[in-house]
Chain A
Amino acid sequence: MGKKMLEVNNLKTKYVTRFHEDVYAVDDVSLSIEEGKSLGIAGESGCGKSTLALSLMGYYFAPLHYISGDIIVDGKNISGMKPDEVRKTILGNEIAYIPQAAMNALNPTQKIISFLGDVLQAHDIKLSKKDLLDMAAERFEALGLPKEVLQKHAVELSGGMKQRTVIAVSTILNPKVLIADEPSSALDVTSQKMVIKMMRELMEKGYIKSMIFITHELPLLYNVTDDIMVMYAGQIVERGSAKEMVFDPMHPYAKGLMESIIVPEAGTRDVKLKAIPGTPPNLKKPPEGCRFAERCRYAKPACYLIAPQMRDIGGGRMHRCMMGEERMKEVYSHE
């Protein structure tokens, strides 16, 4: 067991819409990640993945609001800290973030080096212009980025280059946890590969100690992360190692998600693709019972009434389904 880099217990957050309605996008989420490990979080659009990414940072501003739960970073509980303290001591140097839309994540009218200077300054790190440039150039080159990028404005960079620059900027302070929200989804295949390669390098070179990788592309997670969590309607429905999750999913939703993946292998053309019917529930008023019951093929009347709890079945495997493991095996084998 490695040292726990990030531990989250029963985190609940909500965001408030323009019409003053509460949306409970992260509901009772617990997770932990050890040093040197990476965790993938998968789910459909609108399941609360991105909100979870923002909530994990412990720094809330409208429309996102904290309700309850603990976030422990490297043994330090940050949920009780003052926002400005979180900003100064946690953001960027303990937990770093790579946003979903990296295309517009950089201030268009500022040089990259000047922005890096602002990042360091925000954490009271004072470097001379030359030292800053040397330090940044060294890091950029170590990550395979030309140091000329530093003297450019964001608008002068291509899409893939922008995303890699964002990754390099986010990790400049060697954070303990890196949260990447769909870092490669909007890119073409080549750029996507380079981004993935870069994320691996970050771990290998020790620039980051652990990583949470959020995406809707499951095959990608299988290649990149050690563990996978599947999220549905603001809750975690299953967690396991990458291999287990892809080849032996337990929760009906996780199973459905895996079945809907298109894998380019011989014979796949003949296999019928299965999509999960229906749409996720409205999180303004989440259903009382199991949140997946409406769309679940195996749902029983009880599923609509009782909300299932997370069940730890050992070996790091957990799921949130009323069916026991035995029953699951039986039901799934009939298909």
Chain B
Amino acid sequence: MKGYKKYYSRKILWYLLTLIIAVILNFTLPRLMPGNPVANIAAQTAQGMTDATAIQKVYAQYAEAFGVDKPLYQQFFIWLKNLLHGDLGVSFSQYPRPVSEIIASGVWWTVCLQLPAIIVGWFLGNLLGAVAAYIRKGFDKVILPAFLFASNIPAFGMATILLTVFAIQLKWAPTSGGYGFDLIPNFSAAFILSVLDHYKLPFLSIVLVTIGGQAVGMRSMAIYELNADYVKYSRFLGIKDKKIVGYVFRNAMLPQITGLAMSIGTMVGGALVAEIIFSYPGIGSTLLSAITGRDYPLISACTLIITIMVLLANLFVEMIYGLIDPRIKAAQME
């Protein structure tokens, strides 16, 4: 138990530290660049915006709230203080909505879409990869290249193809949005059905892309494990092949979990872009509209929330990993 405690406290501390550094990066990176966006906000927002007085008002408000004219380190602490209070400023492009409100409305769409999709895709991919490794001949020759190809279709590409085929040609699903445009979000049956109807394709596209990559990884992991010494030894002790395959899959699964932790950031990035294809009301679409609207406070908030989501997911995966892999326990005991 002592080993676990040490492992967990170290992990949590490490992730806290990472979060702090990510927050600092989120603040400083844009400000260190030659075209400092905060200083140029007024110039940038003046373009393409009609209501110039409103923009001036936003900017003045922003400059005051975030102390733009103060030195950088003071700005940082003002920004941090506001951040801790959940105050991320006011959106430029959707004035006068506060950024935190826009983020809050988008984040759940993204979490509810991506979390189940990545988990389902990961699980199915590993299952198929394991089967491919076990069956090998023939099956392996057809399925592996198919998976390999599928895993190389970018998430947005998969989304576009699914959209064209199932939503436009076959009309099995709506083409865009998170729910029917004539509905107001509530807990009515009509709304929930509409949400599920809009959920199908984005979900499927993320699942399919995830399956491909995971299956390929799992297959080579499982083949590697099938050649391990313990497999040979177990066989010579008369243990049935079925049981040995069970050992192998469990052991091959463990590195796949670490793999998930390491690639979750990339996956989320791809899935966010896929959201855009479906105009899904999540963070991905918010980010796109923020970028097109040159809405700096909103962009900064989007990147921050993505980082936090990815860090949390990573921490979660590592926690689970520590629980199920005895090697972690052993390493901590030493």
Contact = CB atoms under 8 A, between A and B. Distances in A.
Chain A–chain B contact at Cβ < 8 A: yes
Interface of A: 54, 57, 59, 61, 87-88, 90-93, 96-97, 99, 101, 103-110, 115, 118-119, 122-123, 153, 155-156, 166, 169-170
B326 A109 contact: yes
Given A153-B326, A155-B326, A156-B326, A104 B238 contact: no
Contacts, number: 81
A90 B247 CA distance: 22
A107 B247 contact: yes
By secondary structure, the B interface counts as helix
7 contacts: A88-B238, A91-B236, A96-B237, A97-B236, A104-B230, A109-B326, A119-B238
B233 A156 contact: no
Interface residues of B, number: 23
Interface of B: 228-230, 232-240, 243, 247, 250-251, 254, 325-327, 329-330, 333
A107 B237 CA distance: 13
Nearest to B234: A107
Contacts of B237: 91-92, 96-97, 119, 122, 169-170
Given A87-B235, A104-B228, 11 more contacts: A97-B236, A99-B232, A99-B233, A99-B236, A104-B230, A106-B233, A109-B327, A122-B238, A122-B240, A153-B326, A170-B237
A59 B240 CA distance: 13
A90 B238 CA distance: 8
Contacts of B239: 118-119, 122
A106 B230 contact: yes
A246 B211 CA distance: 61
By secondary structure, the A interface counts as mixed
The 6 A-B pairs of least Cβ separation, nearest first, read: A91-B238, A92-B238, A153-B326, A104-B229, A105-B233, A97-B236
Nearest to A101: B229
A87 B228 CA distance: 19
A109 B325 contact: yes
A107 B250 CA distance: 10
Contacts of B240: 87, 122
A245 to B, nearest CB: 28
Contacts of A110: 247
A57 B243 CA distance: 20
A13 to B, nearest CB: 15
A108 B238 contact: no
Given A122-B243, A156-B330, A156-B333, A108 B233 contact: no
Q: Which of B229, B233, B238 counts the most chain A CB atoms within 10 A?
A: B238
